[in-house]
């Protein structure tokens, strides 16, 4: 299993777009991909066109 991390402390450098693009490319190769967005703004779900009922912070901090 490979792990790819896209991280940088500076904002506005297209981290979300890069991570979504990499995940999409992996999926196009018929491979499994798990994309975890740990950013407070949660832009990956927006880029994927989904609206999850709970964000990562809520899942980690509260009982759902």
Range of the domain at 26: 15-61
37 neighbors 45 (Cβ within 8 angstroms): yes
Place of tokens 């009982």: 63
Section 2-23 average pLDDT: 92
User: Tens digit of pLDDT for each residue in 19-54?
Assistant: 999 999 999 999 999 998 888 777 888 888 988 888
Residue 57 domain-assigned (yes or no):
yes
pLDDT of residue 30: 97
Residue 31 domain-assigned (yes or no):
yes
pLDDT of residue 64: 57
55 neighbors 42 (Cβ within 8 angstroms): yes
- Give the count of domains, the chain: 1
- In terms of pLDDT, which residue wins out, 63 or 13? 13
Residue 55 domain-assigned (yes or no):
yes
pLDDT at 5 over 80: yes
């Amino acid at each position: 299993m490979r792990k790819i991390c896209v991280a940088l402390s500076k904002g506005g450098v297209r981290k979300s777009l890069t991570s979504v693009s990499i995940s999409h490319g992996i999926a196009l190769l018929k491979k499994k991909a798990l994309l975890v967005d740990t950013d407070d703004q949660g832009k990956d779900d927006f880029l994927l066109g989904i609206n999850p009922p709970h964000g990562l912070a809520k899942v980690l901090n509260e009982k759902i």
